[in-house]
């Protein structure tokens, strides 16, 4: 099995660009192929055999993350007929898989133990936390979108519809809730027990116990235990995972481990320059776009200010002109009265008396 383009770019980001830009360890574990994961990190187990396709997890995700309202309500189960994927405003979807009996599969970020997205991100806008979630910092993001290319599960989305400072978006594993000791929103709202959370070790032990106890119900495979070096989302299924639309061609090596052999032999400049130049280009394009928008805003503000100042000047001149006109009229009237008085003396008074 060869290395895909996604994996390759993720690896370049991890090995070549990070150190070259003076960034120590582009993701937790990304520079350490011995990384064994955070022992007490939180995980979620999705038992596909229990999922009833009710979309309560989608609705909970929408509520907890304050996402924009969808076009159709979460009660509308007809959407299950279409193959959907996550997007900028939808962090999780449930899809129905065609089978003799309906099978429902929930999709979201798998919160990899050594995430390819974080490895590819040379400004460390994505990072694996000790709590298990892979989190995103929009303040650091330069909008290069390498994470989208690197993710083997095709998860991160981009807010293309936002003109100013668009973000990369994906499932957060409800990291703020986990920090408060709560369960992720989807887990809390699942009425069928198809989603359970706990530490990764606990869930792996539980999943394998289920497989041993009900061998006729499950395939002997916990998806996510080893895929791409392991993920914090784990899955149990009654069908082979490739039959429910999940990739079984990823192998068990993490993104940084995949690059350790082949790329270490490549002179760094060969791998570095295309990525570096593309990254610099992406940064400069984003800066140019923001500068252009700021310039437009400054020009509009300056024009408005000039208009206001011109109006104020006109108003001052108009008042001054009115005052001067009034003074001139007063002067002329007074002069005319004085002239008239001089020509036409008071009754009983002769001109000689004057
Ligand atoms: S599933 Fe994709 S976006 Fe999520 S942590 Fe893994 S590489 Fe990153
Ligand atoms: S809430 Fe549970 S049962 Fe309902 S669709 Fe989501 S995972 Fe399946």
Identify the pLDDT of residue 327: 81
pLDDT band at 118 (very low <50, low <70, confident <90, very high): very high
Q: Is the pLDDT of residue 130 over 90?
A: yes
For residue 91 the two structure tokens come to 């962090």
Q: What is each CA distance from 303 to 118, 237, 310, 316, 317, in whole angstroms?
A: 44, 64, 10, 20, 21
Residue keyed to tokens 């990072």? 127
In angstroms, the CA 22 to CA 94 distance is 41
Q: Is 67 a residue whose pLDDT tops 80?
A: yes
Strands 126-128 and 134-136: antiparallel
Atom of ligand 2 nearest to the CA of 50: 3
* Beta carbon of 92 within 6 Å of any ligand 1 atom: no
Has residue 12 got a pLDDT over 90? no
* 110 CA: nearest ligand 1 atom: 1
| pLDDT recorded at residue 266 | 42
Closest CA to 240 of 54, 79, 97, 113: 97
DSSP string, 110-145: --BSS-HHHHH-TT--EEE-TTS-EEE-TTT--S--
Using the atom order of ligand 2, give the atom closest to the CA of residue 56: 1
* Distance (Å) from CA 56 to ligand 2 centroid: 6
CA of 225 to the centre of ligand 2 (A): 21
Instruction: Please work out whether the CB of residue 222 comes within 6 Å of at least one atom of ligand 1.
Output: no
What pLDDT does residue 74 have? 96
Any atom of ligand 1 within 6 Å of the Cβ of 151: yes
Ligand 1 close to Cβ of residue 170 (< 6 A): yes
Mean pLDDT value of segment 80-105: 91
Q: Please, which pLDDT band fits residue 163 given cuts at 50, 70 and 90?
A: confident
- Better-predicted residue by pLDDT, 100 or 345: 100
Q: Which of 28-32, 97-101, 294-298 has the lowest mean pLDDT?
A: 28-32
- What pLDDT sits at residue 278? 55
Query: Average of pLDDT values for 61-79?
Result: 94
Confidence at residue 201, expressed as pLDDT on a 0 to 100 scale: 95
Of the chain, the percentage scoring pLDDT greater than 90 comes to: 56
The predicted model scores a pTM of 0.68
The ligand with the least distance to the CA atom of 119 is 1
pLDDT at residue 268 tops 50: no
Which pair of structure tokens corresponds to residue 191? 């009425």
What is the rounded average pLDDT for all residues in the chain? Answer: 81
Give Cα 353 to chain centroid, integer Å. Answer: 101
127: tokens are 């990072």
Q: What is the pLDDT of residue 313?
A: 75
DSSP string for 202-270: HHHHHHHHHHHH-TTTS-S--BTSSGGG-BSEEEE-SS-GGGGT----S-S--HHHHHHTTGGGS-HHH
Asked if 238 contacts 49 with a C-beta cutoff of 8 angstroms, the reply is yes
Ligand with an atom nearest the CA of residue 53: 2
Contact 57, 94 (CB under 8 A): yes
* Distance from the alpha carbon of residue 151 to the mean position of ligand 1, in angstroms: 5
Whether the pLDDT of residue 319 is over 70: the answer is yes
pLDDT value at 168 more than 50 = yes
């Amino acid at each position: 099995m060869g290395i895909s383009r996604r994996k390759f770019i993720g690896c370049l980001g991890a090995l070549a660009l990070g150190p070259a830009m003076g960034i120590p360890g582009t993701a937790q574990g990304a520079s350490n192929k011995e990384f064994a994961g955070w022992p007490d990190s939180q995980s979620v187990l999705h038992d596909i055999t229990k999922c009833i396709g009710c979309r309560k997890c989608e609705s909970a995700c929408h509520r907890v993350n304050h996402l924009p309202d969808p076009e159709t309500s979460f009660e509308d189960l007809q959407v299950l007929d279409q193959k959907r994927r996550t997007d900028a405003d939808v962090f999780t979807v449930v899809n129905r898989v065609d089978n003799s009996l309906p099978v429902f599969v929930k999709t979201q970020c798998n919160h990899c133990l050594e995430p390819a997205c974080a490895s590819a991100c040379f400004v460390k806008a994505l990072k694996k936390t000790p709590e298990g979630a892979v989190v995103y910092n929009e303040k650091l993001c330069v909008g290069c979108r390498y994470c989208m290319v690197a993710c083997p599960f095709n998860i991160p989305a981009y807010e293309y519809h936002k003109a100013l400072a668009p973000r990369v978006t994906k499932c957060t594993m409800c990291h703020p809730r986990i920090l408060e000791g709560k369960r992720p929103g989807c887990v809390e709202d699942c009425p069928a027990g198809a989603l359970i959370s706990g530490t990764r070790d606990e869930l792996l032990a539980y999943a394998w116990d289920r497989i041993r106890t009900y061998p006729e119900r499950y395939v002997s495979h916990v998806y996510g235990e080893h895929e791409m070096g392991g993920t914090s989302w784990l899955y149990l299924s009654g069908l082979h995972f490739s039959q429910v639309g999940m990739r079984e061609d990823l192998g068990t090596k993490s993104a940084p481990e995949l690059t350790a052999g082949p790329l270490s032999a490549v002179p760094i400049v060969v791998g570095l320059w295309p990525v570096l130049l593309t990254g610099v280009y992406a940064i400069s394009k984003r800066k140019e776009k923001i500068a252009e928008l700021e310039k437009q805003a400054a020009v509009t503000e300056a024009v408005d200010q000039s208009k206001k100042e011109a109006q104020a000047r006109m108003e001052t001149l108009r008042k001054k002109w009115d005052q001067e006109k009034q003074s001139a009229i007063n002067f002329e009237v007074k002069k005319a009265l004085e002239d008239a008085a001089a020509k036409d003396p008071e009754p009983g008074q002769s001109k000689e008396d004057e």
